[in-house]
Copies of this chain bind each other. A is one copy, B any other.
Amino acid sequence: MKYRIGLVGCGVVGRGFLEILAGKAEELKARHGFEAKVVAITDKLKGTVIAPAGIDLKKTLKLLETGQTLNDYAPAKSRKTAALDPLDVIAEIDADIIAEITYTDIKTGEPATSYIRKALQTGKHVVTSNKGPAALHYRELAELAKKKKRHFRIEGTVMSGTPVFTLCERGFAGNRIREIKGILNGTTNFILSQMEMEGMEYAEALTLAQKLGYAEADPTADVEGYDALAKVVILSNVLLGGSLKPAQIQPQGISSITKQMVLDAKAEGSRYKLVAFTRREGGKILAGVSPQKLPLSDPLTGVMGAQNALTFDLDLLGKVTIQGPGAGKLATGQAILQDVLAIHHDLG
């Protein structure tokens, strides 16, 4: 079977996924018996291309690189796709899997949640790396998927391609998770690492992070802990059965951490990290984000720079930690592929 994939959103993650699909078609067929064609790509800014026979991915990537739009893919014969609403594209195309990779709105989860709902309602599997729908509406969407006998997978929402959900599903099978604790924001981890290793003040390290593209012009979501909070809410709701909303929890960020605090911690053999956690405690599920001084013996302490890591406390295995990238074009593109291949293997 050759999967028909539709992309909603074609920013960095979408291009990463297309690059991987284009570059690895033969390898994926040989190693996984997996074949796919992309039958539609729609993006609010970049236009729409629909091609039931399969879109030429290399041509599409070149269009986007050279500043053209998806509408330029086949200008002569094409439908008037420029004004198409993604909801209509999702509903009308013949696709097996929709990759929802539009921008994150962590307050409303829109328009991504509506896209996902429409895709599931019209019988498509959905994979997404979008934190909004996963943090705000996971339960509803997972139930809709179940009702429609379709997959709804969200690997890329927490640590890009560093495996979290596939790891838990297969690797930790049979375990109960008691606690999940980790470093879920690469920007703040980079800033704290610079403050310690280069002796920078917070403001100086933040400016460097912005210069390197790790932090945005308005860094609030990262430095005040909102990004890590959204991710730990996803972990809590999906893996611990919680039903938390990000708005219920006030994260504590790193903007009040000074160089002196970082150096004092170092002198006493510990290190500040922005730690996100969720655990069961007395029948309740707790979650939070705050800067913590971790001892050097903690596996999270060694996680430096823009990396992410999670420690799972499991009833059979004890503590297992996974560390890897938390962002990046190919890493997040691989998260989408990871979910698509999981669907392929589960269907096979």
Interface set of A (CB-CB < 8 Å, partner B) = 20, 24, 27-28, 32, 161-163, 166-167, 169-176, 296-297, 299, 301-304, 316-325, 328, 330-331, 333-334, 337-338, 341-342, 345-346
* A161 nearest CB neighbor, chain B only: B317
Task: Indicate whether A338 sits within 8 Å of B302 (C-beta atoms), given known contacts A316-B333, A320-B324.
Answer: no
Task: Indicate whether A338 sits within 8 Å of B20 (C-beta atoms), given known contacts A317-B324, A317-B325.
Answer: no
Q: Is the CB of B317 within 8 A of A162?
A: yes
Selected from B24, B169, B301, B302, the residue in CB contact (under 8 A) with A174 is B24
Q: Is the CB of B173 within 8 A of A316?
A: no
Selected from B162, B170, B334, the residue in CB contact (under 8 A) with A170 is B170
Complex: A320 Cα to B304 Cα, angstroms: 13
Q: Distance (Å) between the CB of A19 and the closest chain B CB? A: 10
Selected from B163, B301, B317, the residue in CB contact (under 8 A) with A172 is B163
Selected from B166, B320, B334, the residue in CB contact (under 8 A) with A322 is B320
Q: Is the CB of A171 within 8 A of B338?
A: yes
Q: Distance (Å) between the CB of A281 and the closest chain B CB? A: 20
Q: Distance (Å) between the CB of A75 and the closest chain B CB? A: 33
List 5 interface pairs A-B (beta carbons < 8 Å), by A numbering: A167-B170, A297-B304, A318-B328, A319-B324, A320-B324
Q: Which residues on B sit within 8 Å (CB–CB) of A161?
A: 316-317
Q: Which residues on B sit within 8 Å (CB–CB) of A302?
A: 296, 299, 301-302
Complex: A122 Cα to B333 Cα, angstroms: 43
